C-alpha cells in the first residue's frame, strides 16, 4: 500500500492528563528529586487541510454525503504519523459507518477491530471507542473514534454494519464497561460472568482484589501434569 504524502501541518495538542513524579505516585514523601517532574499527556488535535494523498479524497466523499443528508457528524479529523482518524459524534456513528462501508469512493468493507481507551482526566470524554477500518477495494485504512462520558457509557453497536465486531465489542465492554447499544449479546468474553469491575480502566485497583473462581478445585500434586 502506497503511503500518502502528508504535508507538514500545524496543530494544537489536546492535553488529557498531567503526570508528576517518576511513576505518577502521590503522597509518597519522595526525596529523590523526581517528585518535581511534570509531564503532559497530550493527543494530536485537529488537522487542517490539505490532509495529503488520498485523505482529502476520502474526506470529501464522506462530507459530501453527510452534507446531503444534513448530518453534522464529524467533530474533527486527525492526520498523524501517516494515519487518518475521524472523530465522530456517537449519535451519528452508524450513519457515518454506513457511508464509509457503502460509498463506492470509500468502500471500507471490513472492520478489523474495535478497542477502548480510558482517559479518566479527559472531562466529558473519559471513554473512547476506536474502530479500525480496512478498504479491500482501495487498499486503505482509516480509524473512526467516538467518545462518551463515564456517566453515560453508551455507544451504538457496529455489529449491524460489520458483524465481525461482535467479539471485539464484547471484549471492550468486558475490560472498559462501555455499553454497545444494539449488540445482540453483550456479555463478558474474557473474564468470568460474575467478575466485579472492568480491569483495563485506569481506576481499576492493581492489587488487593479478592479472586474467587466458583467451582474451581486444585488437583493433588501427584495428579498434576509434569513437564520435563
CA separation for the pair 79, 49 (Å, rounded): 10
Question: Rounded to the nearest 5°, which phi and psi values hold at 191?
Answer: -90, 160
In 3D space, the residue among 119, 91, 86, 120 whose CA is nearest the CA of residue 181 turns out to be 91
> SS3 for 64?
helix
Half-sphere exposure of 5 toward its Cβ, with a 13 Å CA cutoff? 0
Would you write out the chain's pLDDT as a tens digit for each of its 228 residues?
Answer: 555 554 455 557 777 777 776 655 555 555 566 666 777 777 788 999 999 999 999 999 999 999 999 999 999 999 998 999 999 999 999 999 999 999 999 999 999 999 999 999 888 999 999 999 999 999 999 999 999 999 999 999 999 999 999 999 999 999 999 999 999 999 999 998 888 899 999 988 876 555 656 666 656 656 655 544
Domains identified in the chain and CATH numbers? 13-17+38-165 (3.30.460.80)
Amino acid at each position: 500500500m502506497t503511503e500518502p504524502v502528508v504535508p507538514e501541518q500545524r496543530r494544537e495538542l489536546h492535553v488529557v492528563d498531567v503526570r508528576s513524579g517518576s511513576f505518577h505516585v502521590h503522597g509518597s514523601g519522595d526525596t529523590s528529586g523526581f517528585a518535581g517532574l511534570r509531564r503532559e499527556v497530550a493527543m494530536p488535535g485537529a488537522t487542517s487541510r490539505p490532509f495529503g494523498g488520498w485523505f482529502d479524497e476520502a474526506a470529501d466523499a464522506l462530507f459530501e454525503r453527510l452534507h446531503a443528508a444534513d448530518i453534522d457528524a464529524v467533530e474533527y479529523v486527525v492526520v498523524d504519523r501517516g494515519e487518518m482518524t475521524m472523530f465522530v459524534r456517537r449519535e451519528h456513528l452508524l450513519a457515518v459507518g454506513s457511508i464509509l462501508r457503502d460509498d463506492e469512493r470509500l468502500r471500507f468493507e471490513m472492520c478489523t477491530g474495535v478497542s477502548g481507551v480510558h482517559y479518566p482526566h479527559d472531562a466529558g470524554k473519559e471513554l473512547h471507542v476506536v474502530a479500525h477500518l480496512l478498504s479491500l477495494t482501495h487498499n486503505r485504512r482509516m480509524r473512526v473514534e467516538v467518545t462518551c462520558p463515564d456517566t453515560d457509557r453508551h455507544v451504538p453497536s457496529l455489529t449491524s454494519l460489520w458483524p465481525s465486531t461482535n467479539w471485539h465489542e464484547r471484549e471492550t465492554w468486558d475490560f472498559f464497561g462501555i455499553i454497545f447499544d444494539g449488540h445482540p449479546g453483550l456479555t463478558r468474553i474474557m473474564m468470568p460472568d460474575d467478575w466485579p469491575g472492568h480491569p483495563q480502566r485506569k481506576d481499576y485497583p492493581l492489587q488487593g482484589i479478592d479472586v474467587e473462581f466458583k467451582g474451581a478445585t486444585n488437583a493433588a500434586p501427584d495428579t498434576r501434569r509434569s513437564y520435563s
